[in-house]
């Protein structure tokens, strides 16, 4: 018998506004209005300013480790713009621009990195989960949220964000397998920024695209220019439509670049070539978008100055709210953990801030007895 093909496939690459200013009017038609485009650019500008200030807060000891978002603003922003307000956003930790677009007050992100758990108490009506620091765990959460929505007969879908490095995690494959086999309406949005901390993409994935990892699970896969907000908007809109119409998941690989260090605890100069960084700076999504706005006579230097001043004010106000938030009593850890506390031992611990268990520390028995 002759050898025949068991399976063949192709993965599309979508680009609408490239780094040279070329705009595909046919693909880009009606995706983003001029007014919306201006608003999206202003949100990018505010997020970039937020990055700069957050970096200074960490360096001055006013905040803990922080991962800058610069260079990747178009990915989460385009996705949040394309989705409905009731669709779940399930981020990792480089999606500030999209979260702010959805309505998350900026101080929540600051509080998170300051170690204040109130930064993780996301208002329910925003349909987003807290930042996920462990690599890959959020994909399972997104799959569960979308599965629950389908089970209830609701129209919510979920979109989860992760980096290229996360596609090597077991949680990634488990979530993809569940979503594809059970027809769950979830979008897997990979922000391929070429580096998993210091591991380059060609070591992370030897295949020509990261997107083809989704082919093994039988889902639609697409690659796009992640620094092109038009391309991101289109592929997410298409994926959302598939999810709503057919309960089918989609894997999106958005090719982008992390312009800064992995976090403020990292020094990317130790493993990245400066020439590579400089080349990607020319593909900066903000520069591309600003130049396009100018070509449409929608933007100029005076508008840039005014928007920059507004961004500085907004960020300064967010910092003030974060730093001046009232301190919580230590006992709040009990009230946040438990709905009601009836156990006498737990009540005693909350009152004394000590455990009375001899197995823990016998010397505390005397202290507890003195309190009682």
109-122: pLDDT as tens digits: 999 999 999 999 99
Where residue 278 falls (left for φ over 0; alpha for ψ -120 to 50; beta otherwise) is alpha
At 346 the pLDDT is 86
Place of tokens 């455990």: 355
At 368 the pLDDT is 46
Verify whether residue 151 is a known catalytic residue. no
User: What single DSSP character describes residue 128?
Assistant: B
Verify whether residue 262 is a known catalytic residue. yes
At 359 the pLDDT is 53
Q: Output the pTM of the full model.
A: 0.91
At 331 the pLDDT is 80
At 338 the pLDDT is 87
At 358 the pLDDT is 52
216-242 per-position pLDDT tens digit: 999 999 999 999 999 999 999 999 999
From 256, 277, 232, 41, select the one nearest 164 (Cα to Cα): 256
Catalytic residue among 101, 102, 112, 258: 258
Catalytic residue among 49, 101, 262, 290: 262
Could you write out the DSSP letters of every residue in 6-39? S-----EEE-SB-TT--B-HHHHTTTS-HHHHHH
Cα separation of the two ends of the chain: 87
CATH number of 12-323: 3.40.50.970
Q: List the beta bridge partners of residue 310.
A: none
From 252, 240, 253, select the one nearest 85 (Cα to Cα): 240
Catalytic residue among 13, 20, 59, 271: 271
Angle between helices 106-113 and 301-323 (to 10 degrees): 50
Verify whether residue 258 is a known catalytic residue. yes
Which residues of the chain register pLDDT less than 70? 356-372
81-127 per-position pLDDT tens digit: 999 999 999 999 999 999 999 999 999 999 999 999 999 999 999 99
At 372 the pLDDT is 47
At 366 the pLDDT is 54
Within 93-248, residue ranges assigned H as helices are 96-102, 106-113, 137-152, 170-181, 201-204, 229-246
At 321 the pLDDT is 98
Write down the domain spans for the chain: 12-323, 332-371
Neighbours of 69 (CB within 10 A): 25
Pairing status of strand 88-90 against strand 199-200: unpaired
């Amino acid at each position: 018998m002759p050898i025949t093909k068991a399976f063949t496939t192709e993965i599309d690459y979508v680009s609408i506004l490239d780094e040279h200013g070329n705009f595909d009017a046919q693909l880009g038609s009606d995706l983003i209005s001029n007014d919306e485009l201006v608003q999206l650019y202003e949100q990018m500008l505010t997020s970039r300013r937020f990055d700069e200030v957050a970096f200074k807060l960490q360096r001055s000891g006013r905040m803990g480790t922080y991962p800058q978002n610069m260079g990747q603003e178009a990915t989460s922003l385009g996705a949040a713009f394309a989705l409905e307000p009731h669709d779940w956003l399930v981020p990792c930790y480089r999606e500030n621009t999209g979260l702010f677009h959805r309505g998350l007050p900026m101080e929540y992100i600051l509080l998170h990195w300051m170690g204040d758990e109130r930064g993780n108490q996301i208002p329910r009506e925003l349909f987003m989960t807290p930042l996920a620091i462990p690599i890959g765990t959020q994909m399972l959460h997104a799959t569960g949220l979308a599965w629950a929505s389908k089970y209830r007969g609701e129209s919510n879908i979920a979109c989860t964000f992760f980096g290229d490095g996360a596609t090597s995690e077991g949680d990634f494959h488990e979530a993809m397998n569940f979503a594809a086999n059970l027809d769950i309406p979830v979008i897997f949005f990979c922000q391929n920024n070429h580096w998993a901390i210091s591991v380059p993409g060609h070591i992370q994935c030897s295949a020509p695209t990261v997107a083809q990892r989704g082919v093994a699970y039988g889902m639609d896969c697409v690659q796009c220019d992640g620094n092109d907000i038009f391309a991101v908007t289109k592929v997410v809109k298409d994926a959302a439509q598939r999810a709503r119409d057919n309960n089918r998941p989609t894997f999106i690989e958005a090719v982008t670049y992390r312009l800064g260090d992995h976090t403020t605890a990292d020094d990317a100069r130790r493993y990245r070539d400066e020439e590579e960084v400089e080349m990607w700076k020319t593909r900066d999504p903000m520069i591309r978008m600003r130049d396009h706005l100018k070509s449409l006579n929608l933007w100029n230097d005076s508008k840039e100055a005014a928007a920059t001043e507004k961004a500085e004010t907004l960020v300064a106000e967010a910092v003030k709210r974060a730093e001046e938030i009232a301190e919580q009593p230590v006992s709040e850890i009990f009230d946040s953990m438990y709905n009601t506390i009836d156990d006498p031992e737990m009540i005693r611990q909350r009152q004394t801030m000590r455990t009375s268990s001899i197995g823990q520390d016998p010397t505390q028995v005397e202290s507890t007895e003195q309190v009682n």
